[in-house]
């Protein structure tokens, strides 16, 4: 399935940990938007060109509530 690089990756939220801090949406607005209560909505899989930003978003989450997983 993976054609190399960031293919076949998905951002998954650890919902019980998420506290709607919103750093993920700030860093990756093409992929993560916030709902009306401030919680992330992941719009789709992580495209290869977004892999680095996705990793940054994962590292930036103050609750470590975001993970990059294989689809």
Partner 1 sequence: MIAPPELLDVHRGPLLLAGIDDDPGLDAHRRRVGPLPDLALDRLLDAATAGAVRGRGGAGFPFARKLAAVADARGRRPSRRPVVVVNAAEGEPASAKDEALVRRAPHLVLDGAELAARALGAREVHVVTAQDRSAAGWAVDDALAERATRGLRWTRHTAEARFVAGQARAVLELMAGRPGLPVTGWAPAAHEGHRGRPTLLSNAESWAHLAAVVLHGPAAYAALGTADEPGTTLLTLATPPGPGGRMGRVRVVEAEHGAAAMTVLDPAALVSPLLVGGFHGGWVHPRDVPGLTVSSHHLRGLGLSLGAGAWLSLSDGSCPVTETARYTEFLADESAGRCGPCRHGLPALAGEVRGLAEGADTRRRVRELTGLVTGRGACAHPDGTARLVSSLLTRLEDLVEEHLDGRCGCAAPQRAPRAVAR
Partner 2 sequence: MTTPLLWYANRGTGVVLLVVFSLTVLLGVLATDRSVSPWWPRFVTQGLHRTLASLSVLLLVTHAATAVVDEFVDIRWWQAVVPVGATYEPVWMALAAVSLDLTALVVATSLARSRLPHRVWAAVHLTTYLAWAAGVVHGIGIGTDASTPWLAATTTVCVVAVVVAAAARLVVVVHTRRGRARATTPARGSGAQLFASGRRAAP
Which residues lie near partner 2 (CB under 8 A)?
17, 21-23, 26-27, 60, 62-64
Q: Is 62 in the site for partner 1 (CB under 8 A)?
A: no
**Given candidates 5, 14, 59, 71, which one binds partner 1 under the rule CB under 8 A?**
14
Taking the complex as a whole, the smallest distance from the CB of residue 64 to partner 2 amounts, in Å, to: 6
- Short-list 2, 17, 11, 3, CA closest to 29: 11
Q: Which residues pair with 52 in a beta bridge?
A: none
Closer CB to partner 1, 39 or 56, in the complex: 39
């Amino acid at each position: 399935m993976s054609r190399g690089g960031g293919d076949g990756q998905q951002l998954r939220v650890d919902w019980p940990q998420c506290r709607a801090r919103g750093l993920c949406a700030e860093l990756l607005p093409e992929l993560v938007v916030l709902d009306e209560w401030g919680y992330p909505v992941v719009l789709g899989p992580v495209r290869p060109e977004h892999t680095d930003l996705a990793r940054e978003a994962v590292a930036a989450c103050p609750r470590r509530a975001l993970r990059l997983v294989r689809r």
